[in-house]
């Protein structure tokens, strides 16, 4: 599947992959900053997200192949690949299955392990919103608030609500995402390794990448470096963009 791509800049190709419930536009500020360093930065909408096509299959091998196909369609033989959360697992799967496509890998606050089913309630809350004509974003927010207390989280999810048509609709394929949550929370077993330059960058306050995950990281990505962004949680690129960009650009610009 060829994915929707938002592309800016010229130079060394960099692909950016968002996390669950996200889209390419979430990374626009980071994308612009990366592009100023002489890079061609392509932010992709993963399947069932943003403006990319919907499909009932949503496993990491399929999503990784989407990225490989999209890069080929864009005339990119090899790119640095940056992925956050679910997008980080897609990036890791791509590096393991198609290492020829990945010049270097950045996994943002995620590890190649199974994670707890912490986000399924978001899907239930979104599916419970009645998509009737005339629904306002404020009304939808109030409905989500019964299950999701954090205003910032609701605002992030509501970026996926389209209310400019005859009837509101979610850009997300919630049915496919709900069915695929066990696969999304997990990570495929693999006996392959990606030996290329790799950075795992985490938020200081996040628990997504733990010390007990380091052995698995080293087994699959033997050249991996680890970096921590101070004062940030899981959304480190939004919570401390300067710290995040310093870590990532330093890695992208390094010779090793």
175 with 67, same domain: the answer is no
Return the number of other C-beta atoms located less than 10 Å from residue 192's C-beta. 9
Q: In the chain, which stretches have pLDDT less than 70?
A: 255-256
Q: Are residues 144 and 236 in the same domain?
A: no
Q: What is the pLDDT of residue 221?
A: 98
Tally the domains of the chain.
2
For residues 72 and 164, membership in a common domain is answered with no
Burial 140-151 (b: 16+ CB within 10 A, else e): bbebbeeebeee
- Both 24 and 132 in one domain: the answer is no
Query: Using N-to-C axis directions, what is the helix angle for 60-73 and 86-97, rounded to 10°?
Result: 70
Residue 254: predicted pLDDT: 87
Burial 78-103 (b: 16+ CB within 10 A, else e): bbbbbbbbbbbbbbbbbbbbbbebbb
Structural domain of 242: 5-115+186-253
Which CATH number do you get for residue 103? 3.40.50.1820
Task: Specify whether 204 is located in the same domain as 97.
Answer: yes
Same domain? For 92 and 201 the reply is yes
Q: Verify that 104 and 27 share a domain, yes or no.
A: yes
- Note whether 23 and 171 are within 8 A (CB): yes
- Interatomic CA distance for residues 183 and 214, integer angstroms: 21
In this structure, the answer to whether residues 147 and 93 fall within a common structural domain is: no
Provide the pLDDT for residue 166: 77
* 174 and 225 co-located in one domain: no
DSSP-derived secondary structure letter, 215: H
pLDDT of residue 89: 98
Print the SS3 string covering 95-151. HHHCHHHEEEEEEECCCCCCCCCCCHHHHHHHHCCCCCCCCCHHHHHHHHHCCCCCH
Instruction: Name the DSSP class of 62.
Output: H
Give the pLDDT confidence score for residue 256 in this predicted structure.
62
Confidence at residue 28, expressed as pLDDT on a 0 to 100 scale: 95
């Amino acid at each position: 599947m060829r994915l929707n791509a938002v592309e800016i800049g010229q130079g060394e190709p960099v692909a950016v992959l968002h996390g669950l419930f996200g889209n390419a536009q979430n990374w626009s500020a980071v994308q612009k900053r990366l592009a100023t360093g002489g890079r061609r930065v392509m932010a992709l909408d993963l399947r069932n997200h943003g403006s990319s096509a919907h499909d009932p299959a949503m496993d990491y091998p399929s999503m990784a192949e989407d990225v490989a196909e999209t890069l080929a369609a864009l005339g990119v033989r090899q790119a640095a690949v940056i992925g956050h959360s679910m997008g980080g697992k897609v990036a890791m799967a791509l590096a393991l299955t198609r290492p020829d496509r990945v010049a270097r890998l950045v996994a943002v606050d995620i590890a190649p392990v199974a994670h707890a089913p912490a986000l399924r309630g978001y899907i239930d809350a979104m599916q419970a919103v009645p998509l009737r004509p005339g629904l306002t974003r404020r009304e939808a927010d109030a409905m989500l608030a019964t299950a999701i207390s954090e205003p910032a989280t609701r605002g992030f999810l509501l970026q996926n609500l389209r209310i400019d048509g005859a009837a509101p609709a979610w850009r997300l394929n919630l049915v496919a995402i709900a069915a695929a949550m066990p696969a999304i929370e997990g990570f495929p077993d693999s006996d392959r390794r990606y030996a290329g330059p790799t950075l795992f960058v985490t938020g200081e306050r996040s628990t997504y990448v733990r010390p007990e995950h380091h052995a698995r990281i080293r087994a699959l990505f033997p050249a991996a470096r680890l970096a921590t962004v101070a004062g940030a949680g899981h959304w480190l690129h939004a919570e401390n963009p300067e710290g995040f960009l310093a870590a990532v650009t330093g890695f992208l610009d390094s010779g090793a």
